[in-house]
Copies of this chain bind each other. A is one copy, B any other.
């Protein structure tokens, strides 16, 4: 490694003489956070410009207004569609798309399809609505979606027929993984027909698990509100003899909401996420650890991400119109499942446990965006317009290490982002909760086990 200029070198007091008492490891993928070494460093400037000698081959295109456009503003007829479940900020993104098209580019023709992709189905009774300035004026301060949301929809052929029939040449798709796969299918069909219609996605998942996107809108707001639910669970637990507060949070495949809400609250004792293996029973399992905690401190708070259902609940699972597992269905709701299992476990202990279960999911996802998300949505919406006007297509507006980017749809839908059990976020969760590994599996087998589960490989 090259020598660093003096002013970037950190001073140390002298020799390192003691081994750290922290129970961390230096082995990757063993689900134990790793020590950091002094030669791990962060570039001062992760952005590249033409001529830079650095390896542009592993970089993403930067988003922003282009000087030359593919579309003449006067020919543009745009449309917006919001798919999937609710997420704080949907209205803010819609609004900024409409405002940027109007004020920035002079484009006044903007339609909104109702209730997700189903709104592009001529069989639906819901006709598209015109998105004028007046209709979006104050919607950024409200939850929900002006256009309505829904999962599922017709085939790409049908949707492209609708775009052609209505003369739409710029489509903005706000939604998660399934939605962007649909957007890519629409792009493919457009390409097959040789049409000049741009498709620009804005990633929407409250779970924050979109690959190559460091943050999705609504996520920070979700953590804000989830913290309030945890506060309630903590108060309930602490006010009862052997009280347990159990909170289920969103996170179908990734536990970012649960992990961050745990850090925001600082009152959680056990945080369970799909990325990190845990056992319920057994000497090192959750139940034994929870019982020990109750005996020692008299109360405990448990947070569980909904996606933990996958490994815990056996048998048939329902899938919704978008193909997602319906964890909220009677037999697959991890919160209800865990609540019942805890009652079952503690009954014979005679501890007289008082369990309070809180599921704040709909209250979280239906609220208005906080300040940070409102800002984020505004910039996402405007960058989507800049990309679309420049002729970018089959692309999604992302943010990577704080910089707004263009991410090709095939790339972004090929994988998901997940918590790295060996990384900084999970280290912070472990430090804050003080929770043990909750796994009966010997450490030596964990890295191996991790690699054997294909869904965990990023």
Are A240 and B49 CB-contacts (below 8 A) given A10-B392, A103-B431, A235-B143?
A: no
Closest to A47 in B: B42
Please report the C-alpha to C-alpha distance between residue A64 and residue B11 in the assembled complex, in whole angstroms. Answer: 16
Closest to A19 in B: B68
Other-chain contact of A223, B62, B105, B371, B392 (Cβ < 8 Å):
B371
In the complex, which residues 29-77 of chain A have their Cβ closer than 8 Å to any Cβ of chain B? 33, 35-52, 54-73
**A400 touching B44 by the CB < 8 A rule?**
yes
**B402 touching A214 by the CB < 8 A rule?**
yes
Closest to A236 in B: B366
**B224 touching A12 by the CB < 8 A rule?**
no
- Can you list, as one digit per residue, whether each of A87-106 has a CB less than 8 Å from chain B (1) or not (0)? 00000000100011001111
Other-chain contact of A37, B50, B72, B391 (Cβ < 8 Å):
B50
Chain B proximity of A369: nearest CB distance (Å)? 9
Chain B proximity of A30: nearest CB distance (Å)? 15
Please report the C-alpha to C-alpha distance between residue A142 and residue B220 in the assembled complex, in whole angstroms. Answer: 20
A260-268, A269-277, A309-317: which lies at the interface: A260-268
**B57 touching A54 by the CB < 8 A rule?**
no
**A232 touching B363 by the CB < 8 A rule?**
yes
Are A60 and B44 CB-contacts (below 8 A) given A86-B239, A427-B65?
A: yes
Question: For the complex formed by this chain, how many copies does it contain in all?
Answer: 4
Q: Is A378 positioned at the interface, with any CB of B under 8 Å from its CB?
A: yes
Q: Is A231 positioned at the interface, with any CB of B under 8 Å from its CB?
A: yes
**A39 touching B44 by the CB < 8 A rule?**
no
Q: Which residues of B contact A18 (CB under 8 A)?
A: 68-73
Q: Is A406 positioned at the interface, with any CB of B under 8 Å from its CB?
A: yes
**A235 touching B366 by the CB < 8 A rule?**
yes
Q: Is A403 positioned at the interface, with any CB of B under 8 Å from its CB?
A: yes
Q: Which residues of B contact A103 (CB under 8 A)?
A: 431, 434
Q: Which residues of B contact A198 (CB under 8 A)?
A: 13
Q: Which residues of B contact A73 (CB under 8 A)?
A: 18, 21
Q: Which residues of B contact A288 (CB under 8 A)?
A: none
Are A39 and B47 CB-contacts (below 8 A) given A16-B391, A57-B5?
A: no
Q: Which residues of B contact A239 (CB under 8 A)?
A: 86, 144-145, 148-149, 366
Q: Is A229 positioned at the interface, with any CB of B under 8 Å from its CB?
A: yes
Q: Which residues of B contact A10 (CB under 8 A)?
A: 61, 392, 394-395, 406, 408
In the complex, which residues 126-161 of chain A have their Cβ closer than 8 Å to any Cβ of chain B? 126, 140, 142-145, 148-150
Chain B proximity of A10: nearest CB distance (Å)? 5
Q: Which residues of B contact A197 (CB under 8 A)?
A: 13
Q: Is A216 positioned at the interface, with any CB of B under 8 Å from its CB?
A: no
Chain B proximity of A359: nearest CB distance (Å)? 7
Interface residues on A, range: 35 or more
- Can you list, as one digit per residue, whether each of A308-347 has a CB less than 8 Å from chain B (1) or not (0)? 0000000000000000000000000000000000000000
Q: Which residues of B contact A149 (CB under 8 A)?
A: 239-240
Q: Which residues of B contact A168 (CB under 8 A)?
A: none
Q: Which residues of B contact A294 (CB under 8 A)?
A: none
Q: Which residues of B contact A393 (CB under 8 A)?
A: 11-13
Q: Which residues of B contact A68 (CB under 8 A)?
A: 16-20
In the complex, which residues 232-289 of chain A have their Cβ closer than 8 Å to any Cβ of chain B? 232-233, 235-236, 238-241, 260-261, 263-264, 266
Please report the C-alpha to C-alpha distance between residue A13 and residue B198 in the assembled complex, in whole angstroms. Answer: 7
Q: Is A411 positioned at the interface, with any CB of B under 8 Å from its CB?
A: yes
Chain B proximity of A23: nearest CB distance (Å)? 10
Are A56 and B69 CB-contacts (below 8 A) given A220-B372, A366-B232?
A: no
Other-chain contact of A70, B17, B42, B100 (Cβ < 8 Å):
B17
Please report the C-alpha to C-alpha distance between residue A174 and residue B433 in the assembled complex, in whole angstroms. Answer: 24
Please report the C-alpha to C-alpha distance between residue A91 and residue B400 in the assembled complex, in whole angstroms. Answer: 30
Are A49 and B42 CB-contacts (below 8 A) given A20-B65, A392-B12?
A: no
Residue pairs across A and B with Cβ atoms less than 8 A apart, 13 shown, are A8-B408, A10-B61, A37-B66, A39-B49, A41-B56, A42-B405, A46-B46, A95-B266, A143-B231, A220-B371, A260-B371, A264-B371, A402-B402
